[in-house]
Structure 1
């Protein structure tokens, strides 16, 4: 008779329910990135609306994902990340007519805040989550992006769009990998293969 670890079994069940949320976030981010490369936006208003909608969707997905993972490490931080995304998205939707400089600084501030929160959440959940290093990497990339934007705010609109596109694609790839890592870890946990 084989012994089933209740913690491993619970993790396996949770992983089955949540692994696709990071994948959804990743796919949405990659779509935004592809759009940024395929059709560089010509006005601050347009880019603000498109990016604002994406941040609102990503924020909602992040909050839902965090709530579905309640009881695991870092839930509060993931909810904060989702709220930051929502607030930033709403600011862009309802304040789109401002200058490129304001938008650039908002993007930089958002990226730095998101990066710091992502790193904190990843470090806090490292014992429960074998893929925590991916969250750490996403956080570091977000901070670097935010610093670059803050130091060089005079980018042209097209260049800024491409930078957002690169960031969105990299962010999306990390989230997709992270989602499949959760799925794999959940299958191993269900099969009793995790230590």
Structure 2
């Protein structure tokens, strides 16, 4: 079955910087969480809710804008909707307990980590360099999410540190994804139309032979 991160070499990914914005937002959120470990859970819940809503909406925009360029744009759209719902859930229940907050954040980080790992493997198939860094940070995020979900009864400083490390991990993974998309976009833009057609023709022949 033919599968490629990009539907065609003729199209170039749009708004590659959106994952970068999301990544920077998450990294800043993580470091802020570490720097204010004594902040109330009410304040953290409100902060997380707005961050998740903003990142989710940005991801929805990225998915819609790239529906003709990225094969798996639907996963990005689904992820954006899911993350927006996570944020809305936190916003609607700002007084939730620490355990419930940990569960919500843990699932958010787990889903985003899995999504980033999937995209890193797609980038590997496309021949992108440094795709492994996306995987490394996503795996770290996945590990931290399992820790949060496995023992949501963490209290005080321990909970804050684990949450912050998890968010920072997926933030770095999103940043690496953005730079890989930028690199592919630049390569595509530098190719002449003739070379794009030749490349696409060779790729189609390759997949036809694999099917045969």
Query: Which bracket does the TM-score occupy, shorter chain normalised?
Result: 0.7 to 0.9
Alignment of 1:100-119 (within 5 A): 100-119=98-117
Matched, 1:150 2:142: no
Matched, 1:140 2:139: yes
Residues in 1 aligned to 2:147 and 2:25: alpha-carbon distance in whole angstroms: 24
Under a length normalisation based on structure 2, what TM-score does the superposition of the two structures give?
Answer: 0.75
Alignment of 1:47-126 (within 5 A): 47-71=44-68, 72-120=70-118, 123=121
| Equivalence for 2:202 | none
SS of 2:153 mapped into structure 1:
coil
Residues in 2 aligned to 1:166 and 1:130: alpha-carbon distance in whole angstroms: 27
Residues in 1 aligned to 2:75 and 2:132: alpha-carbon distance in whole angstroms: 16
What 5-or-longer segments of structure 1 have no aligned partner? 1-6
| Equivalence for 2:207 | none
Residues in 1 aligned to 2:65 and 2:53: alpha-carbon distance in whole angstroms: 18
| Equivalence for 1:190 | 189
Under a length normalisation based on structure 1, what TM-score does the superposition of the two structures give?
Answer: 0.81
Tell me if structure 2 keeps the 8 A contact 1:44–1:157: no
| Equivalence for 1:8 | 9
| Equivalence for 1:175 | 174
Q: Residue 130 of structure 1: CA displacement?
A: 2.9
Residues in 1 aligned to 2:134 and 2:67: alpha-carbon distance in whole angstroms: 18
Residues in 1 aligned to 2:109 and 2:175: alpha-carbon distance in whole angstroms: 19
Residues in 2 aligned to 1:135 and 1:75: alpha-carbon distance in whole angstroms: 18
Say if 1:112 and 1:172 are closer, same or farther in 2 by CA, change over 3 A. Answer: closer
Structure showing greater radius of gyration is 2
Tell me if structure 1 keeps the 8 A contact 2:19–2:177: yes
Tell me if structure 1 keeps the 8 A contact 2:120–2:135: yes
Cα deviation, 1:135-154, whole Å, max 9, x if unaligned, reads 54454334322211122222
Q: Which has the higher contact order (CA 8 A, sep 6+)?
A: 1
Root-mean-square deviation (Å): 2.6
May I ask how many residue pairs the two structures share in their alignment?
185
Say if 1:97 and 1:129 are closer, same or farther in 2 by CA, change over 3 A. Answer: farther
Say if 1:29 and 1:65 are closer, same or farther in 2 by CA, change over 3 A. Answer: same
